[in-house]
Structure 1
């Protein structure tokens, strides 16, 4: 009986680790931040093309924000974080296109999230 309970517990723990990252109804801000974290130094003091790790995160985020609820949640998160960091506006506006992706919003504190959908 104890071995069965241990097996069930292990299966439950493994299930948590192997669940799809974006299975929630709306993407969480922590996931958005995780994807965009490699872009922070580029957006604040970089130039030219973003680093590949940044573009990987941008592309992951773009793939995860296809539903309207995800787009709005990502927008609110990006807007909130961008207001506490000074980013170069031209880099924020061009980030997605420079990474070959399409994000619902620019990485900017001035974006209007009510128009995202």
Structure 2
């Protein structure tokens, strides 16, 4: 029951941060970024509990890569992710940053609350 409540709280927090996260001028929205990666949150927070990466997480990572082809889109996605992950406790960033490579996707920035999104080209 507590796990279910913390998942619901994390989802609400993600949605609130998605609305408030700063964005560069790109065509991808923070809502699209959050929506595509939402299924990865439980995995990167609770990996020690076992289980594989959900297929919806893999699909979201691939979507994010395809949807953020321009510099403004990559900066926008980075800013969104940066703002959202800062508010979610317990994320395993080492694992999080391995996910794109697991699916043959190259994301040009680290998923971290300290990412320098302005430097992304």
TM-score bracket, shorter-length normalisation: 0.7 to 0.9
Q: What is aligned with 1:76?
A: 79
Q: In angstroms, what is the RMSD of aligned CA positions?
A: 1.8
Listed as ranges, the gaps of 5+ residues in structure 1 are 1-23
**1:45 Cα offset (Å):** 1.3
Structure of larger gyration radius? 1
- Asked if 1:36 is matched to 2:40, the reply is no
TM-score normalised by length of structure 1:
0.72
Instruction: Write the deviation string for residues 58-96 of structure 1: whole angstroms up to 9, x where unpaired.
Output: 000100011000000000000000100131021122111
TM-score normalised by length of structure 2:
0.70
**1:49 Cα offset (Å):** 5.0
Aligned residues: 94
Listed as ranges, the gaps of 5+ residues in structure 2 are 1-24
Q: What is aligned with 1:111?
A: 115
